[in-house]
Structure formats: C-alpha cells, structure tokens
Structure 1
Amino acid sequence: MQTTDIARTAPLPKLTEPRNPGMALDLGWVRAATANRSAIERRCASLPARRSVKKDYQAAWLLKAITCIDLTTLAGDDTAERVRRLCAKARQPLRPDLLAALGFDSLHTGAVCVYHEMVAPAVAALRGSGIPVAAVSTGFPAGLSPFALRLAEIGESVAAGAEEIDIVISRRHVLEGNWQALYDEMRLFREACGEAHVKAILATGELGTLKNVARASLVCMMAGADFIKTSTGKETVNATLPVSLVMIRAIRDYYDRTGIRIGYKPAGGISKAKDALVYLSLIKEELGNRWLQPDLFRFGASSLLGDIERQLEHHVTGAYSAGYRHAVG
C-alpha cells in the first residue's frame, strides 16, 4: 500500500474564513427562492451511483471525513467522565498503528459537541488540542423556552469556554412565513455569541417543504449565521440528500452575491462511512474543494466515527473487525 500517496491525497490544513457579518434582510431574494423537488430528488438519487472511490482514494476521503466530524453526545445520562472519554477519542480518533500505516502522525476530529452542562469538562479535556467545544443552545432541541433564557443560555456557554454555539431557530416563524421575525431572532442569537461561531439549526424535518428550507437558509445567513445545519438529530427526519442539496445551493447563492463563505453541517442519521463519502462528493461537486475543510463543513455524528475506523482497519489489514472494537467513547 502506498501510504505516502494517501498522505499527499488528503492534506489536512486548518483554515479559517472571515466571520459572516450578515446583511439587511432582502425579502425579494427570500421570496424568489424556490425548490424543484422532482429535479432535486433525481440529482440526489444519481449521486451514489455516479461517484464511487476505492482503495487508497477511499481511505483518503475517510480520513478527510474524520477531520470534519463534530463528535457528539447529547444524551440525558451524559456524565463528565463520558465526555472526557469522548474528548480522548476526538484527540485520537484512530489507533496509532492505523494512523502510521496510513501515513499520518496525528489526526483529530473537527469539534466535540455537548450540552451546556458538559462544556466545562469538555474544555478541560481538550485544552491544548486545538479542538473546539460546540454547545447546543437556545432551548435545544425544540427552541420553545422563553427568549430571554435562550439568549442567557448562549452567554453561559460562551463564558464556560464554548467556541461554537449550535442554536435552534423557532420553526413557527418559517411555517408562518414570518421572515422578519426569524431574521431578528437570528441577529440577536448572533450578537449573543460574540466571538463564538454560530451554527443555525433549521430542523428541516419540521419545516414542511424544501422551499421553506431554502428560504430559512437564506434568512439565517443574512442574519449572520456562520454555519447552517440540518437538524438537531432529535426529529423524526434528519439530514437527507435533497435537503442538503437545497441548503448548499443556498450557500452557493449567498457566496456568489456577497463573497462570504458559509459552512454546512448535516446532522442526524449519518452513521455509515459510505454515507459520509456521498455527502463529501456532493459538497465537492456543488461548492468545490474549499468547502471540504473543517472550518466550512462538519458532520454532526457519533457512531459514524466507529464505522469509518472499521473501514480503515479493513483497508490496512484486509479484514473486518467487530464494531465493538471501535467504541466512540
């Protein structure tokens, strides 16, 4: 196996884009946004069959996927010790022997994502690693707590050391077509985040139509979101390829008009290495290579890392190991 070729194929620089300053709400642009469901579904159905990578190239893409994972635990029974184990996995997502065989000295995930109560232990466990802590906020997952408390929650997580805040929007603003209310809400969330990057969770499975997804994406970007994210992972329907295509084309449109690159995060239901490859292919085709860096693309996932590690071990050894040998935390 040509391990040096893999290392050259999958460079992993840590880049940083300027923050999105936002812009005035352009209702003409928002209302003009639409989505052709049949064409979108045809495009997405063709992608897995047309784009397939094998052997060393597949290993390189899977290594890239690891660097773009927001390793996540959002369970009611989370403990500080569980979070510390997750952070240890984020620091060393692959066994040293696999890393060496693949031509790497070190590798880490894009971030660790937790509830506010677990921010402090995560920050302590990741100190010096360069891995940011992301906190879900604003009444996650439903976003129905009092607005003042949602703003205060952001402030508490930033004060505790979270460098990224995953906020949830009020779905009712989208369903009612109240774009001004959504814009105003998002602007206040953005201001409360200060220097912390803000990811706007649209909860696309609850927005009704792809047209609503397109319009909500634009409004959140206009209001200053640094990332737009599909789901909380708690909805009945989470990340899908059609929703992803709509959102990343909104990102492309926003970049074409403003010159500002917005990040994208599919979350919920992405648990297999082959699914990660499809999403990376979609990003490459629609947005280009620049969006394949962790400052502009993340997977919201937990079990995905275990399957990627299993596939990479097969690539190195020629044999599949049991899933329990690749525990996440």
Structure 2
Amino acid sequence: MFNTYSYTSEEIQERIQNILNKGKQDFDQQKAYRQILSFIDLTTLEGADTNEKAANLAKQACNYANAEMNIPNVAAVCVYPTLVKVVKENLTDKNIGVASVAGAFPAGMSPIEIKVAEVKYAVTEGADDIDMVLSRGKFLEGKLEEVQKEVKSIKEACGAAHLKVILETGELKSVENIRKASELSILGGGDFIKTSTGKIPVAATLEAMLVMLDTIKEYYEKTGKKIGIKPAGGISEPEVAIDYYVLVKEILGEDWLNNHLFRIGASRLANKVFDLIK
C-alpha cells in the first residue's frame, strides 16, 4: 500500500524550513488564526479534573464566537470518559463536539478487552470523537499485525464516533517508526492520526508532523480517502500553531483546512489566539 519512506532526519528538517519559508510569503495571518481557533480541541486531561472544571471548560468553549468579528468557537472539548456527559450537558453551542481519550490513555498498557470497554463507555456517554493510544510497547516489539488489529477493534467499538489514533511519536524515536505507526493506524481504520498524548517530555514536533502528513498524502493519492491530522502536546503559542498550520496547508492543501480533517490539541492556545483576533 505504501512506498518505502527514504527521508533522513536532516532532510526532513531542511524540507520543513523550506516549506515554512515558502508558505509564510504573502500569508494572511489573521485568517490563519481564525481558522486555528476553529481547529482546537480544548483539552483538560489531569488527574485532578472535576465535574466543575469540565463544565467550566465547556462553557469557555462556547464563548469565543463573535459573528460580527468573524470569530468562531473551538472544534471540541477533550476530556476523560467520566467527564464526557458533563461536557455534553454544558455545551450550548451544539456544533462543538466532545472528544474523549479512551483505551487506557496515556500508556495503552491494558488488555484489548478493557480498552474496547472503555471506548464503548465513552461513546455511550456522548463522545463524538475517541482519541486512542497506539500500543507502543507492542509496536517496538515488532508485533505490527497485533497493533493494527487493536486499532481495528477500537474503530469498531467507536460506532459513529470518529477515531483519532495517538502515535506518541516521542516514544517511537525514529523516522521509520513514525512512518510505520502512521501506516498501521490508517490501515487499521483511524480517521485521524495524532502526534502525542502530552504526557511525556517529547510531545508534538514539526519533524514527526511532516512524516505523518507525507503518509496521509500518499494514502490519499492512492485511495482518494482523506485522513485527518492532529498535532497535540506543547502547542501553547500562536506562532508555533502557525508552523503546523503552514505544513498542513503546503503539504495537504486547502481541503484539509477545516476541523473535519485538522485539529490541534491544546489547553492554553485558544485564549492566546483569541486575544490576537478579537
């Protein structure tokens, strides 16, 4: 299905710089920031999360939109499964979705039966998106077929909910591993591939993002099916979000510049972007 991926880390870094230099020429930054706000999955994934915190985050998500200034709300609110219902009940803007991490987030170190049960629970509570974690331990052991089958099982458990597969690229280490994990996630049925959980020191990077975008592009060119992309983890500054935006725009094109195919996982980014466009 996929071709051999031959770029070295150094070549990827050079490509990124060239893409950013080209993509930021004659660039409408205000338009980009408005779009970025609409791509955000406003996120809280802390052990101390409470019903009150989740409810307040849902209310915050609904308070960005301003029709006169052409400012949108965020795409979704992302929480643990036990808080999905609270978020759903407090979203007055029904165009905002609810995303839930599920499937033994963040480590993925549970039997597949437990993962599937948690995913089904989150969907029953009202999750529109499921953000699962790839089994990195099994992947690094070379159990690639088993990893792909896990993604397939969780996709089936999602029902109508969209599935985002978190690669945790900081634990995969190499370009080759990020490429292979992207392929397995797509072939297993993932609707999106996502960089990171935000729970380890090395979260989203432009290098990992480029490899993932290349994989999505190749799959689209061969099948006509569009797979979404979600960088997450450490993207808290607007200028950093712009870099990810430019990579998507230049590699995948304008068709991906919507929140059906592009999300950004963040907790602090939304307010900072809003302050730049209000």
Same-fold status (TM-score > 0.5): yes
- Code of the residue aligned with 1:41 in structure 2: it is Q
Structure 1 residue 227 displacement after superposition:
0.3
Match of 2:197 in 1: 232
Equivalent of residue 96 in structure 2, options 124, 131, 137: 131
CA separation in 2, counterparts of 1:54 and 1:85? 38
Asked if 1:165 corresponds to 2:165, the answer is no
Asked if 1:256 corresponds to 2:213, the answer is no
Match of 1:153 in 2: 118
Match of 1:39 in 2: 11
CA separation in 2, counterparts of 1:182 and 1:109? 32
Match of 1:206 in 2: 171
Structure 1 residue 172 displacement after superposition:
1.8
TM-score between both structures, scaled by the size of structure 2: 0.94
CA separation in 2, counterparts of 1:177 and 1:290? 35
CA separation in 1, counterparts of 2:133 and 2:168? 7
Q: Percent sequence identity over matched residues? A: 39
Q: Which ranges of structure 1 fall in alignment gaps of 5 or more residues?
A: 1-25, 314-329
Structure 1 residue 48 displacement after superposition:
4.1
Equivalent of residue 74 in structure 1, options 26, 45, 48: 45
Asked whether the equivalents of residues 199 and 225 of structure 1 are also in contact (C-alpha less than 8 Å), the reply is yes
CA separation in 2, counterparts of 1:132 and 1:53? 33
Aligned residue for 1:130, secondary structure, equals coil
Structure 1 residue 49 displacement after superposition:
4.0
1:285-324: per-residue Cα shift (whole Å, max 9, x none)? 10000101100000000111121122224xxxxxxxxxxx
CA separation in 1, counterparts of 2:6 and 2:158? 30
CA separation in 1, counterparts of 2:254 and 2:58? 28
Aligned residue for 2:242, secondary structure, equals helix
Asked whether the equivalents of residues 175 and 208 of structure 1 are also in contact (C-alpha less than 8 Å), the reply is no
CA separation in 2, counterparts of 1:66 and 1:50? 23
What is the aligned length?
A: 278
1:6-44: per-residue Cα shift (whole Å, max 9, x none)? xxxxxxxxxxxxxxxxxxxx5xx47x3443211101112
- Code of the residue aligned with 1:135 in structure 2: it is S
Larger radius of gyration: 1
Structure 1 residue 45 displacement after superposition:
2.9
Match of 2:64 in 1: 93
TM-score between both structures, scaled by the size of structure 1: 0.80
CA separation in 2, counterparts of 1:137 and 1:110? 19
Match of 1:61 in 2: 32
- Code of the residue aligned with 2:169 in structure 1: it is T
Match of 2:232 in 1: 267
